[in-house]
Amino acid sequence: MSSPDEWRRQEHIRLATEAARKGRWSRRGRRAWALLRSRPGQLITVGVVGALIGSLLTAWQTSGLPWSDGKQAVCWGTLPKKDAEALFRSDLSVRAEEIRPTRGSDSLPDAQGACRLLALRDGRPTTHIDFRLHHLDGRNDAQTAGWLTDFLSPLAVPFGKGYVGTAAENRTWLELPSGCADGGLANGPAVVEASWGKLPMSSRDDPRWRDAVARATVRLANGAMRALNCDGTLPLPGRLPAAPRYKNTEPRRLCGVDGLALRLSKEQRYELDGTLLAHSPGTARVCGVGVAGAAQTRARLRLVTVEDPRLAQVLADLGATFGRREFDKRGSSSVGSDLALYEASCQTGLVAFLIQNEGIRMDDLPRRLLPRYAAAEAERLGCGSVKVELPR
């Protein structure tokens, strides 16, 4: 008899397969696909993926067609053989499995698409990179909060001027331009993202590996734009900046913000040891506190300023689901479980300020930090004076 976990997995496969074969992504089908791939380090077997994508999937291997002439490309016709193989070690072969970009059905017009690059040794998968096209939807998609935590990383670096997106230690994402794939149910932008579990190639093997993933993400974004009949293309980025370095936490100047202070016990000082600060101008400023040590991959406290108006709208929509909101002359605030959020209008459009407690045992920590943090960051951005009043 199948276990409950196996039964649920088979049900997700059935729903997603049915959605793919019908050529449309119902909300249940989209959720099933997301659940199957929700853990970046967990491989879906080749047989499962083949059944999942059905008639929309093409599976190609470097040892056979269509790469035998060295000219064809995979992942929505964007990645030539040499670029896909460069993402993995040279002793591995590569296969692509994909769902080509589509706007979905009339009732669910949000853009969807996926491509998985599988690295194989003796025909068996050893690692993979997942690329995905989807819309960010703070109001209707329960996974959006997790996406923001995972993809707005304090280890992220910018693609460069003119891009909205970041490249981090195991995730990369890029926003499609305004006007491309808009008009669906989601208020947020369409994004192309890349995620993986264990690194397919060590940075010691090739220190520019992250640059190659960033370029692949841009290639897929351009492929998605062509498939969705959007105008324009994004140029390939050059060499990315170095990742942010760990610094000692400054309790009296938290995340480099003057006047933002915490009174900490010895135990709390240990928990909040180590700070990472990443700034991608025009996208987001992300500070992670409590990230010291190689085993600590997630920050215990996150202070985030979202500078891109479309991404800030996603946060605003997410805040609207928390319940009561407090409005003032400049914006609105909301408080959820272990987080506090404030959105304000600036000369560049909507911006959002977020404090998120990921495990610090201090009551009302986001609520206490947000007013000063939002005021300081609004001043940095030239938004003028803001005074945050949080809901009781």
pLDDT at 201: 67
Has residue 69 got a pLDDT over 60?
A: no
Q: Please give the sequence-ordered ranges of beta strands (E in DSSP) within the chain, or none if there are none.
A: 59-61, 73-74, 79-80, 93-102, 112-121, 124-135, 157-158, 165-167, 171-175, 190-195, 275-280, 284-289, 301-306, 325-327, 331-336, 339-346, 349-357
C-beta of residue 101 within 8 angstroms of C-beta of residue 76? yes
183-187, 211-215, 310-314, 325-329: segment of lowest average pLDDT:
183-187
Q: Is the pLDDT assigned to residue 86 strictly greater than 50?
A: yes
Is 197 within 8 Å of 297 (Cβ atoms)?
no
CA dist 169 and 149 (Å) reads 14
Contact 216, 83 (CB under 8 A): yes
**3-state SS of 310-340?**
HHHHHHHHHHCCCCCEEECCCEEEEEECCEE
Confidence of residue 36 (pLDDT cuts 50, 70, 90): very low
Q: How far apart are CA 43 and CA 314, in angstroms?
A: 29
In this prediction, residue 203 carries a pLDDT of 55
Mean pLDDT of 60-86: 69
pLDDT value of residue 222: 97
Query: 103-144, pLDDT tens digit by residue?
Result: 866 656 688 999 999 999 988 988 999 999 999 988 888 888
Percentage of the chain beyond pLDDT 70 is: 76
Tell me: pLDDT of 356 over 50.
yes
pLDDT at 391 over 90: no
Task: With cut-offs at 50, 70 and 90, classify the pLDDT of residue 30.
Answer: very low
- pLDDT: which is higher, 392 or 89: 89
- Residue type present at position 306: V
pLDDT number for residue 154:
93
Task: Please provide residue 373's backbone torsions phi and psi, each rounded to the nearest 5 degrees.
Answer: -65, -50
| Nearest residue to 318 (alpha-carbon basis) of 85, 140, 63 | 140
Distance of alpha carbon 253 from alpha carbon 95, whole angstroms: 49
In this prediction, residue 205 carries a pLDDT of: 53
With a cut of 80, say whether residue 182 has pLDDT above it: no
